[in-house]
Amino acid sequence: MSKAKKSTNPGTIALNKKARHEYFLEDKFEAGIELQGWEVKSIRAGKINISDTYVIIKNGEAYLLGAQIQPLLSASSHVVCDAERSRRLLLKRRELDKLIGASEREGYSIVATAMYWKRHLVKLEIYLAKGKKSHDKRDTIKERDWQRQKERILKHSH
């Protein structure tokens, strides 16, 4: 689930919390996004969901698929708003080559985890990720519960 403007960082627009549960996140990249004017206005209003997004590589360029940006009612009438269009990601050639190599040869997925403001620009945090099996997810949940329990014990013992 993606929550707009609910994190500790005031620049955060949306989070993809499901990604940490579904994947082992390895290499982090920061990408710009090619947006239209109405999309920026909707993002400022917090009308975005990136919980089911993923990145594909097509013709040597990276595209964000599945991001839902709901158009504002006050958007201009002459603009045709497509809420789920594929949006091109702006990456350096070296970063693109690394993403292409890892996704094609080594079977990695490319997952978007967060969208945030960097000054006046919208940036997307993407990771090279390996999918988790169900037993890995259970291990992660057990570890998280144990850490919480340990903190409670230490808190009450002092």
Identify which has the larger pLDDT, 4 or 48.
48
Q: CB neighbours (10 Å) of residue 41?
A: 17
Site of tokens 């080594």 = 106
pLDDT at 7: 43
Q: Is residue 51 part of a domain?
A: yes
Q: Indicate left, alpha or beta for 137 from its phi (over 0: left) and psi (-120 to 50: alpha).
A: alpha
How crowded is the C-beta side of 112, counted as CA atoms within 13 Å? Answer: 30
Q: Which domain holds residue 107?
A: 12-132
The CA distances from residue 92 to 24, 61, 96, 98, in Å, are 24, 10, 6, 10
Q: Is residue 126 part of a domain?
A: yes
Place 9 in a pLDDT band, splitting at 50, 70 and 90: low
Q: Is residue 77 part of a domain?
A: yes
Place 6 in a pLDDT band, splitting at 50, 70 and 90: very low
Q: Is residue 111 part of a domain?
A: yes
Strand partners for 123: 32, 116
| Angle at alpha carbon of residue 30, lines to 92 and 116, rounded to 5° | 140
Place 77 in a pLDDT band, splitting at 50, 70 and 90: low
Q: How many domains does the chain have?
A: 1
CATH of the domain at 76: 2.40.280.10
Q: Is residue 150 part of a domain?
A: no
Q: Is residue 114 part of a domain?
A: yes
Is the pTM higher than 0.95? The answer reads: no
Counting every residue written for the chain, the total comes to 158
Q: Is residue 79 part of a domain?
A: yes
